[in-house]
Structure 1
C-alpha cells in the first residue's frame, strides 16, 4: 500500500492586479521580483490590522508606487506558486488577487530602487509571468 506524502497546507498571500485605461486600451502593472527579477504582480503576506484588499493595496504602494486605487473587495481569482525560502525550502502559497483601478502612481516609493515596473496589455502580461494559473487569470480579464 502506498502512503501519500504529507503536504504542507498552502500559505496565503494577497496581490494587487493594478489596472488602468489608456484610451481604448486596458493595461496591467507588473513589477520585477527582488530575488529573481521575474515579472510578478505586487503581492505579499496579509498585514495585521488590514483586510485582504487593504493588504494588497499596501503591497502595491511598497512594490509599485500605487498611491491610490479603487480596490475591488472580492478577489478576481487566485493562483498558486512555490515560494523559495532562504533555506532553499519551497513553501506552497495561494495568492488571492484583488483588482485595483489605479488613480495615483508615484515615482518615489519604498522599493523603487529594487524593482522595475511596467504597464502592459493583459495578454502581454500573461506571456511575461511564469505561473500558469496567473497567466490564465490575465488572459481572462
Structure 2
C-alpha cells in the first residue's frame, strides 16, 4: 500500500469512528521593501492553498507545518510558536468526503529554494493578503488571511 492509500485508509477509518480529522498548515509570509506583508500560496490542480499536511508523531504541529512548507512550496524560515487560527474544509477520499480542521502557523520566510520536492506539481505565488483571500476556496481561511494582514506587518 503506497503512502497516499494508507493516508486515505487511516483518515477514512478515523472519520467513520467519529474522530476529528486534523491537519496543520504553514502561512508563509514576507515583508516587501515598503513594509507591506505578502502571503505565499501554492497552486495545485487549479486551487490556491496553504502548504498543509498531517501532524507528525513526536514532532510539534508547527514543525510539521514547516516541513510541509519546504516540501510543497520550497520555502524555509522562522515558525511562530502559536497558531493564528484554523479553518475547515472537506477532503475528498476515494469513496467519501471527510471534514478536516486545519491549524495555521505563520512562517516568516527567509529563503525560497530553487528546487523542492513537489516543484513539478505546484506553483507558488506571492500575494497581498486581500488578494490571497480572494483566491482560496475556504471561506474561513479567506477571513483568516484578511484579518491577519495587520498582524503580519508587525511580526
**TM-score for both structures, normalised by structure 1:** 0.89
Give the equivalent residue in structure 2 for 1:124: 131
Are 2:40 and 1:32 equivalent residues in the alignment?
Answer: no
The alpha-carbon deviation at position 48 of structure 1 amounts to 2.1
Are 2:81 and 1:73 equivalent residues in the alignment?
Answer: yes
Q: Whole-Å Cα distance in 1 between the matches of residues 20 and 114 of structure 2? A: 34
Name the one with the larger helix percent. Answer: 2
Partner SS state of residue 78, structure 1: strand
For structure 1, the 5+ residue unaligned runs are 1-5
The alpha-carbon deviation at position 105 of structure 1 amounts to 1.2
The alpha-carbon deviation at position 92 of structure 1 amounts to 0.7
Q: Whole-Å Cα distance in 2 between the matches of residues 116 and 37 of structure 1? A: 10
Give the equivalent residue in structure 2 for 1:3: none
Q: Whole-Å Cα distance in 2 between the matches of residues 79 and 9 of structure 1? A: 17
Count of residues in Structure 1 that have an aligned counterpart in Structure 2: 132
Do the aligned partners of 1:8 and 1:92 also contact (CA within 8 Å) in 2? no
From 39, 54, 63, the counterpart of 1:45: 54
Q: Whole-Å Cα distance in 1 between the matches of residues 29 and 67 of structure 2? A: 15
Give the equivalent residue in structure 2 for 1:139: 146
Give the equivalent residue in structure 1 for 2:98: 91
For structure 2, the 5+ residue unaligned runs are 1-15, 149-155
Q: Whole-Å Cα distance in 1 between the matches of residues 17 and 128 of structure 2? A: 36
Give the equivalent residue in structure 2 for 1:59: 68
The alpha-carbon deviation at position 10 of structure 1 amounts to 2.9
Deviating 4+ runs (over 2 angstroms): 6-10
From 107, 116, 119, the counterpart of 1:100: 107
Name the one with the larger strand percent. Answer: 1
Q: Whole-Å Cα distance in 1 between the matches of residues 20 and 137 of structure 2? A: 19
Q: Give the aligned CA root-mean-square deviation in angstroms.
A: 1.5
From 23, 26, 30, the counterpart of 1:13: 23
Do the aligned partners of 1:78 and 1:94 also contact (CA within 8 Å) in 2? yes
